[in-house]
Chains A and B, each alone.
Chain A
């Protein structure tokens, strides 16, 4: 009795999403997969469940090869999963949602339902009773008749776990079940997962919250760029330098942080001041009451683990993510303005994976598009400035943006951002997907941008890269600021690791 995924490789077009990854789960065991964004965790789930085609390798359930079965047959064989973003019908009731998970175990047919045969009615009653007891176990009994759309995301995630349990699986795959859960809810979830394991269900979980993972799991697999990097018990894994490197994202050249240079005078008013910013994605609150000052010509590094709320905070500042709080730009309140008006006030956002460029347009078209409001001398000045900052782009004006290398695309993204003549530049993970070889150029460019009097907020998983540029460091954990410090902190791994993990809320610390 076990679930074995052996030597799994998955390829999407030209991208090797998984390369020879193996995971084994036995009944009653809790196994976890950790890794940074894009490391292939979700792809692994999809491959095991049949949502993504496997290029190489096999998935075996109790010794039987299920690699070629469609999703529903795998579920019928005893696998099931939850989704990172729960896929729910906001209008169905909690009871209905949980009941849907029980459909897999039914033997009655359409006509049993239509004609109300004894078999159909018996099964319907059975499923309803089971759904109530599952909800009871999750402390959600009172919510049975609520509609899903009215519930907070944490509760919805718990219900999703209940839905998965309904089918009576022998192996359950949980995709970030703890994201957005309150500490009380996390405890309920932990208890439920332990109970499942106690009932000899094998649990495989993907989770960013390392405390949650290490509390629960018997073994951890670490993925990086689609490959297995490490495997072991939580204690073993968390002590290995590789893990710390991945968790703190210090891939690439490991340079010491630059000394805090050119600190702006303490009495100088910041260029932009955010206070009490609280951001939400739909019903998930992702940032809580965050204060952030951005000085003129300063680089503020925004660090934190995956899912800590860095991107959401940038989104909230730029106006693309709903938020409450205050944003003052040069003493003018701009929080009430929509995104494009904030852009006019000088906030420019470069989303991760260079999300502001237009892949099928040429480099020249991309630039012209972002410069379309400028003319005359201003345009000339800007073009000269860009030519000096990005000489490489100038050689590739007629290429389609998607044909550029990752580094060139990042340059284009920056050039387009500068074309909007920002006062504050919000950079989300500029190093993501780039070869360390281009870090130097990128570092140099960002430094020169800051030297033009622009305030830069640099959200990075890659702490080592941030260390090269930062004037101030702000670390986020679970949507809250866990550390504010000078860049020297970046050489203190232990303190940084603590800040990444966020406040410890495990039982012994409650007082």
Chain B
């Protein structure tokens, strides 16, 4: 394991620290930065499901909402502390995603995408019709805050710290033979089976991991905003994080984070929330047409990088 394994994590830590230094005391930017980190986590979950394993899941926000509602229900109805909620918020989406994936992974790529879209729509209806348990259309409010001091700077550090940890985990996974196996499932399931890989299991495990990461993001979101409604992490969020990951470069570790940062920054500059979709959709089209591997592929333009290309990828 060379130091290169830690490079993406170090980059995340360094940039988050530098950014924290610049925006310290500015509540607007600290708030943006925390949300950015939460989106980055969800985009990373897209990286695992789509980038690594080829499951085009349009339900990542639904997985996040599943985790978020777990912790919200536990804390508002049963007074459970957020740390208990954290366990459930990660475990339940992961545990749900595995059998869900086993049911649908036989499908072709489009079939899978459609199944996740259907799941997301159905989950949305369940949330709205859940009565007092889910808070229905009104949602659940008054959630306890994230652990630690109620300080924007601390929260910035906490969420980006979590992003860095997940980044480290994924870098290790991507570099491992296990990750190589998942990649071959994405590229060519038949070939992967010939390598002795149980394709349905591998896909399901990847979706499960991805749902766990999304659940983690949902947990952060719920306790950070302290309110959760059916629109908080709805299907438009699923689409946004998918676009973020695609724009940044879904097959790389850092790509989804980069995409989340870029598109979140872009949307803070926009006149209104309505037009966000135009820019997101437009950005996706442009990226697909110009640089299908996302913004991360631009690094190949760096002279040092293109010289060393092929050595470490």
Binding site for B on A (CB under 8 A): 49, 51, 70-73, 75-76, 80-81, 83, 87-89, 92-93, 96, 99-104, 106, 108-110, 112-116, 120-121, 123-124, 127, 145-147, 163, 167
A100 CA to B199 CA in the complex, in Å? 13
Query: A75–B194 contact, CB under 8 A?
Result: yes
**B198 CB within 8 Å of chain A:** yes
Tell me if A80 and B177 are in contact (CB < 8 A).
no
Contacts of A163 in B (CB 8 A): 195
Provide the bound-state CA to CA distance between A120 and B195, in Å: 19
* Cβ distance B212 to chain A, nearest Cβ, rounded Å: 10
Q: Report the bound CA distance from A127 to B181 in whole Å.
A: 12
- Inter-chain contact B209/A110, CB cutoff 8 Å: yes
Report B166-207 residues with CB < 8 Å from chain A CB. Answer: 169-170, 172-173, 175-181, 183-184, 187-188, 190-199, 205
List 20 additional A-B contacts (Cβ < 8 Å) besides A103-B180, A123-B177. Answer: A71-B194, A72-B199, A75-B194, A89-B183, A89-B188, A92-B183, A100-B180, A100-B181, A103-B177, A104-B195, A110-B178, A112-B176, A113-B173, A114-B170, A116-B172, A120-B178, A124-B175, A146-B310, A167-B195, A167-B196
- Whether B170 and A100, one on each chain, are in contact in the complex, defined by CB atoms closer than 8 angstroms, is no
Known: A51-B190, A83-B191. A103 touches B181 (CB 8 A): yes
A114 touches B172 (CB 8 A): yes
Given contacts A104-B196, A113-B172, whether A89 and B187 have CB atoms under 8 Å apart is yes
Is the CB–CB distance between B176 and A124 below 8 Å?
A: yes
Q: Which residues of B contact A92 (CB under 8 A)?
A: 180, 183, 187
Q: Which residues of B contact A101 (CB under 8 A)?
A: 195
- B299 sits at the interface (CB 8 A): no
| CB atoms of B311 and A145 under 8 A apart | yes
- In the complex, what distance in Å separates the CA atom of A121 from the CA atom of B176? 8
Residue of B nearest to A164 (CB): B194
A72 to B183, CA, bound (A): 16
A83, B194: Cβ atoms closer than 8 Å: yes
For this complex, 23 residue pairs linking A to B, each with C-beta atoms less than 8 Å apart, are: A70-B198, A71-B193, A72-B197, A75-B193, A75-B196, A76-B196, A80-B194, A83-B194, A87-B191, A99-B177, A100-B181, A103-B195, A106-B177, A110-B205, A113-B176, A113-B178, A114-B172, A114-B173, A114-B209, A116-B1, A123-B177, A124-B177, A145-B310
Residue in A71, A92, A93, A102 whose Cβ sees the most chain B Cβ within 10 Å = A71
Q: A103-B196, A114-B172 are in contact. Are A147 and B184 (CB under 8 A)?
A: no
| Residue of B with least CB distance to A87 | B191
Indicate if the CB atoms of B310 and A110 lie closer than 8 Å: no
Name which residue of chain B comes closest to A96, CB basis.
B180
Q: Which residues of A contact B175 (CB under 8 A)?
A: 124
Q: Which residue of A lies closest to B308 (CB)?
A: A145
Q: How far is the CB of B93 from chain A (nearest CB, A)?
A: 16
A93 in contact with B205 given A106-B177, A113-B178, A115-B172 (CB within 8 Å): no
Interface pairs A-B: 9 shortest CB-CB: A104-B196, A75-B196, A113-B176, A113-B178, A103-B181, A71-B193, A87-B191, A89-B187, A114-B169
* Interfacial chain A residues near B176, Cβ < 8 Å: 112-113, 120, 124
Is B172 touching A108 in the complex (CB atoms < 8 A)? no
CA distance A101 to B169 in the complex (A): 23
Interface residues of B in 131-189 (CB under 8 A from A): 169-170, 172-173, 175-181, 183-184, 187-188
Residues of A within 8 A of B310 (CB): 93, 145-147
Measured CB to CB, the closest approach of chain B to A184, in angstroms, equals 24
In the complex, how many angstroms separate the beta carbon of A97 from the nearest chain B beta carbon?
9
